[in-house]
Amino acid sequence: MYQNKGNKATRFGFGEGVVALGHKYSNTVVLGADITASVSLNGFVEAFPNRFYSLGIAEQNVVGVATGLALSGKLPILSTYGVFATMRTADQVRISVCYNNVHVIIGGAHAGISVGPDGATHQALEDIALMRSLPNMTVLSPCDANQAKLATIAAAEQVNGPVYIRFGREPEPNFTSETDAFVLGKGQLLRKGSAVTIVATGHMVWEALQAAAILETEGVDARVVNIHTIKPIDREILVAAAHETGAVVTVEEHQVYGGLGGAVAEVLSQEHPVPMDIIGMPDCFGESGTPEELLEKYGLTAAAIAARTLSLYKKKQTITAKHIYSNERSN
């Protein structure tokens, strides 16, 4: 059972990973867009002031400069809020970065509804859908601060093309270890179970683990899988989960369209269809409020996830019973 080692924002794990890369690789350069400390790039600025470039509130220009630096042999890392890093720069990311398949690491901060009071304009809820649709783009969504650090280092060492890393602002349970192996493209089985599978990403992984604990009190043995790499997604772990548990719930701080749920459904519809439920933002914008209030309102708490998962489990049982009955009658 995973234990919370203390709350810590995933943005800080990202920042620590960037500093680690700066120490390890002298060609690492960082580009800011006027919100350096907010996206945890201030540590790199302090350690390597001559390798940091602040270009102001000009995100499209930041992406263009990063592309030029990558083509010149540098390892450019840029970060701003996820809504600006993906949507304001969509054309530049698509044509400059992805079309040229250059090694640029893009940090998307303040992702998900748990940004809270900043409201709809600053809550990145469509970024996974946009980034995973782009050719050559790798999309990472670490579950806690420790994993965010590992993911950032992996983005430099395990990929040769564009990478988008999604992370949040608010402190969240930090329950993995910095010494864990991080293999890009490989999901993690965090909890064994045979009745139903909860597939989660980002901050929702902790909620999924708590939901599984709630389900255990109901006599439902839930498996929990962490998908920290949305693209390329781990097809093997997903198909195995569908085959062995017969039902899959996905959970994400993202729109229900085009995100983790869509990616999982694409795999399972082709290889092993089972009853599914996709938990996320229900095709609407967020609003201002505390993270706790917003997660409660939009059904992203452990209790809400457990309730939806239990409902799907019962649906699976009904379908299974009907199938058995149909086979008995045909025989």
Which class is 188-323 in CATH? alpha beta
pTM: 0.95
What sign has the CA pseudo-torsion 156, 158, 163, 165?
negative
Q: How far apart are CA 314 and CA 89, in angstroms?
A: 44
The arithmetic mean of pLDDT across residues 108-124, rounded, is 93
**What is the per-residue pLDDT across 151-180, written as a single tens digit (0 to 9) for each?**
999 999 999 999 999 999 999 999 999 999
Identify the three-state secondary structure at position 3.
coil
What CATH class has 7-173? Answer: alpha beta
Q: Which pLDDT band holds residue 327 (cuts at 50, 70, 90)?
A: low
pLDDT over 60 (residue 325): no
pLDDT confidence tier of residue 111, bands split at 50, 70 and 90: very high
Q: What Cα–Cα distance (Å) separates residue 217 from each residue in 89, 222, 306?
A: 46, 11, 11
| Mean pLDDT estimate for the chain | 96
What lies within 8 Å, CB to CB, of 196 at 6+ separation is: 215, 220, 222, 223, 245, 246, 247, 248, 249, 309, 312, 313, 316
% of the chain beyond a pLDDT of 70: 97
Is-contact 187 228, C-beta < 8 A? yes
What residue spans in the chain does CATH classification 3.40.50.970 cover? 7-173
Q: Record the tokens describing residue 163, joined without a space.
A: 């990478």
List C-alpha distances in Å: 330 to 134, 281, 323, 325, 326: 48, 42, 11, 9, 6
CATH 3.40.50.920 domain extents, the chain:
188-323
